[in-house]
Amino acid sequence: MLFDTLAYWLFFGATLVLLACLRDRPAKIALVLASYVFYSGWDVRFCLLLAASTAVNYGFGLWIESAAGAARKRALLAAVSFNLGLLAVFKYYNFFIESMASLLGIDPAGALLNIVLPVGISFVTFEGVAYATDVYRRQLPAVRSKTDFALFIAFFPHLVAGPIIRPMDFFPQLVTRPLLTSEDSRWGLREILKGLFKKVALANYFAPIADACFNGGSYAGAAVPAWAGVLAFSLQIYFDFSGYTDIARGCARLLGYRFPANFERPYLSANISDFWRRWHISLSFWLRDYLYVPLGGNRRGARRTLLNLLIVMGLGGLWHGASWNFAIWGLYHGLLLIAHRGWQRVLQASGLQAAGARPLWQPLWIGCTFVLVSLGWVPFRAADFAATRSMLVALASWPQLDFAAQHWGIWLIPLASLIWCWLDRQRRWQDWLVERASLPTVAAIGAIALLCLEIFGQFETQIPFVYFQF
């Protein structure tokens, strides 16, 4: 069940009404069951894996809490190994076997496993690791309620593509069941409509352009120039993933739960560190809290800090998929982060830091960051090294602008988005809509948004969310 299908919205509406009719505990159980129904939409067998992972992680939580000293550490190690092992088997086993075989020049056929990658396994395992680590660090008591724990792992709005929920943020929300206010409803509706528009109208507009460019096909009967393909993919992945997150957050809010923000206008970042504080925020936090900090973070000297950055970003890249291209994308960002640190030092040493931070320079820094991030999407999207190379070579040639003259959307949508971000830079309009606007005004804006969705939505083909494959 995809968020942009009628089947999902019927399911969601039924779940919303059912939960409202039930007392607290039955409502939680019903929500867990609904989440499993949602997950079974992909493959019923995945539910067994989800249930097994939930049961084992629940047990690990209790074990870690009850253990002390070295035993506690061993319990944590076992929990982390279990979760990463799950990921390794289902997601990376074949990849590593093929890579090794390619290195040694042997045929991997006999050693490969014929398994399907369960949807959302990367997110589920990260939740498991986060929970075990938080219990180990005594930041969170092990959860006693099996229903609560099952809900934490399986809660359907974030199950398949995040955001990655921190246990400390989620479990306190299960203690009391809040009454849904008018503000919650408006907030939820706003995010859902915003997300649907981003996905169905914007991401799905850019998707065929990016596909045509990266797959060597044509768009509207013509070849897509490299610059347009890369720009299209940069915008597709943002609108697709942030749209998904908006819908997930909106749905969660309507069911009485709050998810953290996952995107904060990342393409308006003035530097790469800023970008990673605004892009896939829940993953950045996870990598920081559960990988960068345990590796020593920036506490072990400058060289180790830089190495840690490379390790974290490289593994973060590989988390996206079993391909060296993802690792390259991650390492590229690691190098950008290192370069940014160096640049900061140069500015500091030369006394130009304050001058560089002036508003006058911001458009330049934002533009540079966007170009660097967009270049990074090339290995991320390209099928392999050869495709990456040929795309980068094509980017180096003089850009053909005919495409932009024929397909206005390629420049008009980013321009309109930029103007919108500038007009509503403090998000006051969005807040006004939730907090102060009258019901008829909200409804009128909602109705116009739905009409715009009908007119501008790309409904001809079902384009899956990009992050579902991760």
The residues annotated with a catalytic role in the active site are 320
Name the residue nearer to another protein (CB basis): 349 or 455: 455
Name the residue nearer to another protein (CB basis): 393 or 416: 416
Name the residue nearer to another protein (CB basis): 22 or 100: 22
Do 284 and 276 contact (CB within 8 A), yes or no?
Answer: yes
Name the residue nearer to another protein (CB basis): 114 or 461: 461
Q: Quick one: which of 33, 356, 450, 468 contacts another protein (CB under 8 A)? A: 450
Would you count residue 363 as binding another protein (CB under 8 A)? no
Going by C-alpha positions, the residue among 259, 210, 266 that lies closest to residue 238 is: 266
Do 291 and 312 contact (CB within 8 A), yes or no?
Answer: yes
Would you count residue 432 as binding another protein (CB under 8 A)? no
Stretch that binds another protein, among 96-104, 374-382, 398-406, 452-460 (CB under 8 A): 452-460
Two tokens, residue 402? 């005919």
Chain centroid, CA 20 distance in Å: 29
Q: How many residues bind another protein (CB under 8 A)?
A: 33
Name the residue nearer to another protein (CB basis): 297 or 446: 446
Q: Quick one: which of 104, 175, 396, 439 contacts another protein (CB under 8 A)? A: 439
Neighbours of 222 (CB within 10 A): 12
Q: Quick one: which of 442, 466, 467, 470 contacts another protein (CB under 8 A)? A: 442
Would you count residue 324 as binding another protein (CB under 8 A)? no
Cβ of residue 234: shortest distance to another protein, in angstroms?
23
Write the binding mask 22 to 41 for another protein: x where contact by CB under 8 A, - elsewhere.
xx--x---------------
Cβ of residue 180: shortest distance to another protein, in angstroms?
5
Residues 6+ apart with CB under 8 A from 182: none
Cβ of residue 433: shortest distance to another protein, in angstroms?
12
Write the binding mask 173 to 192 for another protein: x where contact by CB under 8 A, - elsewhere.
------xxxx-xxx-xx---
Neighbours of 182 (CB within 10 A): 11
Cβ of residue 156: shortest distance to another protein, in angstroms?
17
Residue 425 phi, psi dihedral angles, 5° rounding: -65, -30
Name the residue nearer to another protein (CB basis): 361 or 408: 408
Two tokens, residue 128? 């498991």
Cβ of residue 254: shortest distance to another protein, in angstroms?
6
Two tokens, residue 321? 């998929």
The DSSP secondary structure of 65-120, one letter per residue, reads: HH--HHHHHHHHHHHHHHHHHHHIIIIIHHHHHHHHHHHHT---GGG-------TT
Identity of the residue numbered 75 = A
In sequence order, what are the beta bridge partners of 322? none
Write the binding mask 244 to 263 for another protein: x where contact by CB under 8 A, - elsewhere.
----------x---------
Pairing of strands 222-223, 218-219: antiparallel
Would you count residue 457 as binding another protein (CB under 8 A)? yes
Would you count residue 163 as binding another protein (CB under 8 A)? no
The DSSP secondary structure of 244-274, one letter per residue, reads: HHHHHHHHHHHTT-------S-GGG-SSHHH
Neighbours of 21 (CB within 10 A): 10
Judged by DSSP in three states, 280 sits in: coil
Contact residues: another protein, CB under 8 A: 16-17, 20-23, 26, 179-182, 184-186, 188-189, 254, 408, 439-440, 442-444, 446-448, 450-451, 454-457, 459
